Structure 1
Amino acid sequence: MSITSRLSLALLLLCSLLLLAGGALAHGDEEDGAEDAANVLTFYTHPTERFNVLIPPGWQNVVNSSYALLRNDAIGAQIYGLTAATTAVDEAVAEALTLAELPQAAESSAGDAGQLAFGPWQQRTYTFDNDTTATVFVQQRDSKSYVLLYVSASAVQPLIMRTETPLADEASARAALTSALTALGRSDAVIDSVSADSEANNSFSATLTIDDTPFSASIHRDSLTTADIVIGPGASVAEANEDIFTIVRDFFVTPDNGSYLILGLVVAFGLMGLFLLTLWLRQRNLERDEAALRTLMQNGA
């Protein structure tokens, strides 16, 4: 194959590579957009990292470039997610409350939620007027704070409690619930009954009375050292209120490889360009050698 043919073939390959790369990037962006819209919340921090959580069924995804928002109208609850450019917990929480249009009320601190899958979370609880309650989970990482804010319009309060012993029986479930009520500032509550859930292991239901109002609670063991607890008015709390625990515990980081893909394409194009340059130089050298040979032949003749 001649140098000219090789050069033409290389140019054809380069054009094909450009078309394929453009199509792959466009298709990848389309798939990522569809996935983000349907399956995950994306917390943008900087161009090479994305922080995500899976969206539980039944929650409407309302997200923009500044924060994530899930809404469940059936239970009157919202879950906000945002990245605050500060490691000060008070500032991050204040930003989240402002985002949710909630007043800066004094919290009833529920303490440290413990070491979860993605690291330790701090936890705060709030009670506002009109039966509105909120639970805030905050985590510091890379000079930022990641905030998950659960807001209930029906006085439902989810929180994660550390347990001295694994949640294994009704007595340990009662102890965990008592600790949760104390953290919420409701140590005056009366726990009427605690019973094991027949459909799930290490899960319990409870009935209690707060200010002469019947409440209920669900208590689930998630690890040997923590329990997921939801307390709310009425005979039972909707299971969808427990979805906040799924979000907090499944919070994870997924590196965005878009920058690396672009870098790889730049390197590939650079190598292809170098290959084309060597072919061109070889062609120039061959043409010069051919001219020299022709001159020698003419002189010899």
Structure 2
Amino acid sequence: MKIDDIKRVLIVGSGTMGVQIGIQSAIHGYYVNIFIRNPAKNDIVWDDIQKRTNLIVSEDVISREEADQMLKRIYTTNDPADAAKDVDLLSESIPEIVSLKREIFERFNELCPKHTIFTTNTSLLLPSRLAKSTGRPERFLALHFNTPVYVTKTADIMGHPGTAKEFLDLTIEFSRKIGMLPIVLDKEQSGYITNSLFVVLRMKALELVVNGVATPRQIDKSWMSTMNMGIGIFGIIDSIGLDVGFELLEQYVLKSGDKQAKAIYEYLKTNFIDKGHLGSKTGQGFYKYPNPEYENPDFLK
């Protein structure tokens, strides 16, 4: 298999990350199938695609004409067999639940062509925990993106002990073809590089809030001013999604008895998760969206 053999990409998971990965692939000439499990979300997904496309055009990433051609390369379907037809690379971006991911991979292994490379956009899970369920472990690895994809332009690439070098190399080349900088890990690591660093930062920031030391806005103002950045830690948490990694935090709390982690878990659950305030994708997290407070020029005054 050669890089030019990859022509059609299947996106499994039509949420924030799946849509962004699909758009990034389509911008660079790939045909994209997006599988939407729930037919009731068809209009929601297309509305998201249109909004993100308009944003990219407004920021001069691509022209309106290029966007119109890009949209013609995106196809959505509720039929898994239809979604899997003639695809060369699968990108999975569903919730961080091992059993659910295994179920999805088992299902699409039966439907996708034998040559299809399977990738996971998992933020924290190791591909070795999922490899067997794909039915093609030698063709399976992690290809992870950060949000917003068109801005961060980095792709974490991480195989497992059974990943064949041929498909690791092809995935690296594919990431370059869609305008990303591949960051290839030498061994499996939960959270890759950036996420491994950010998880620690995120927990420390939440600890400061839970312990009454500072508010999210105070922390973000301090971070943005000191680091000369346009977004703070809680703004980043909102962009990632407060639900991302929440179940793993819950598992850790149940097993460890860590009182500080439990306090953070309860704070997030009570104030955000149970209320459906999951960040920018739901319109509210630590900030309200669109037009979050930290984007206001007066935020740091």
Question: Which TM-score applies when normalising by structure 1?
Answer: 0.24
Greater strand content: 1
Report which structure shows greater RCO (CA 8 Å, sep ≥6).
1
Larger radius of gyration: 1
TM-score (norm: length of structure 2): 0.24
